[in-house]
Amino acid sequence: MIPGMTPTATVDLSSLRPAPRPAPAARWPVADVLALLGQPFMDLLFRAQRVHREHFDPNRVQLSTLLSIKTGGCPEDCAYCPQSAHFETGLEADKLMALDEVVAAAQAAKAQGATRFCMGAAWRSPKDRDIERVGEMVREVKALGLETCMTLGMLDGGQAQALQDAGLDYYNHNLDTDPAFYGQIISTRTYQDRLDTLAHVRQAGIKVCCGGIVGMGESRAERAGLIAQLANLEPYPESVPINNLVQVAGTPLAGTAPLDPFEFVRMIAVARITMPRAMVRLSAGREQMDEALQALCFAAGANSIFYGDRLLTTSNPQAERDRALLDRLGLRPTEA
């Protein structure tokens, strides 16, 4: 202190600092989603159809085609998946498809009316050299005038950016199920791993395709937990595939009691209500659904389907049959 100066009082500035902001409240608490799932069936469908009509033409359905560009040999142990190297399902592992084969498949999909072409590879996480090759697939498929989507496993930030630079429109990375049930389905990848990949995709500016699988033995509360996880993402996914388990011999979930079909429709309806602007995709399991059940799903707000003869490794209603059903319901494909 300088001689002759009066000591100044110490001022406590802590009271002047802004108080920490509380974490934002979830848009859709699990309890609220569970209450939706428990509504009388007709009330739930009516509400979902009203929400659907606010944001979409109720008589339009988007057609997407899914191609497995690298099949089998996956090191993950997802209990539903015939591509896992952990299970004996009789599926032969293949190498990554050649570029010209992928382009030919995309051309055929477009000729059949698909507007989005989805490519899936059975990897835990692609290597950088893989990203270069699939990036070229993205460029060539986009040149045909199709939207592009890929599912390649976990991505880091640089890989997501490389796919964005290639022009990828959507990246699919499903949460699969509720965090509380997740450990019964997979042990080789954490829930946070999935969320981290979604964050990398968002940061790169790629649209998110993210949903889950039902009918794996989970409870209704756990199905509500899955929807809450999806609906509370910021922002929620632009595309939400709802899959009904396709049981494959040799996988741990073979023999699981099938989900009540009306419970599946409830999931479609609640996805529509909680994520009103998302494309809600009626995905795996359509082969096991009759036409009346599919019609109920459309009434509940589904407005996108996988279209063609196969999904990644399981069968799908044939294109001609799909077109006939859509025609009978007065539904028209969404234009590119």
What are φ and ψ of residue 157, in 5° steps? -60, -40
Q: Which of 277, 295, 281, 209 is nearest to 63 (CA)?
A: 281
Active site residue 281: yes
In angstroms, what CA-CA distances link 93 with 41, 90, 99, 122, 227?
Answer: 43, 10, 18, 9, 33
Residue recorded with tokens 């699919």: 172
Active site residue 210: no
The catalytically annotated residue of 133, 266, 281, 286 is 281
The burial of 86, by beta-carbon neighbours within 10 Å (0-12 exposed, 13-18 middle, 19 or more buried), is given as middle
pLDDT of amino acid 251: 85
The catalytically annotated residue of 47, 116, 133, 149 is 149
The residue type found at 149 is C
Q: What does DSSP assign to residue 9?
A: P
Three-state secondary structure of 290-327: CHHHHHHHHHCCCCEEECCCECCCCECCCHHHHHHHHH
- Predicted confidence pLDDT, tens digits, the chain (336 residues): 444 544 544 545 444 455 555 555 678 999 999 999 999 999 999 999 999 999 999 999 999 999 999 886 677 877 777 776 676 666 666 788 999 999 999 998 898 888 999 999 888 888 989 999 999 999 999 999 999 999 999 999 999 999 999 999 999 999 999 999 999 998 888 999 999 999 999 999 999 999 999 999 999 999 999 999 999 999 999 999 999 998 888 888 888 899 999 999 999 999 999 999 999 999 888 888 899 999 999 999 999 998 765 444 444 457 788 888 999 999 999 876
pTM, full prediction: 0.86
The residue type found at 115 is T
The enclosing H or E element of 116 equals strand 116-121
The catalytically annotated residue of 47, 74, 266, 297 is 74
Whether the CB-CB separation of 266 and 44 falls below 8 Å is answered with: yes
Active site residue 74: yes
Whether the CB-CB separation of 153 and 125 falls below 8 Å is answered with: yes
Residue recorded with tokens 């069936």: 41
Q: What does DSSP assign to residue 232?
A: T
| Count of beta carbons in the 10 Å neighbourhood of residue 55 | 13
pLDDT of amino acid 33: 97
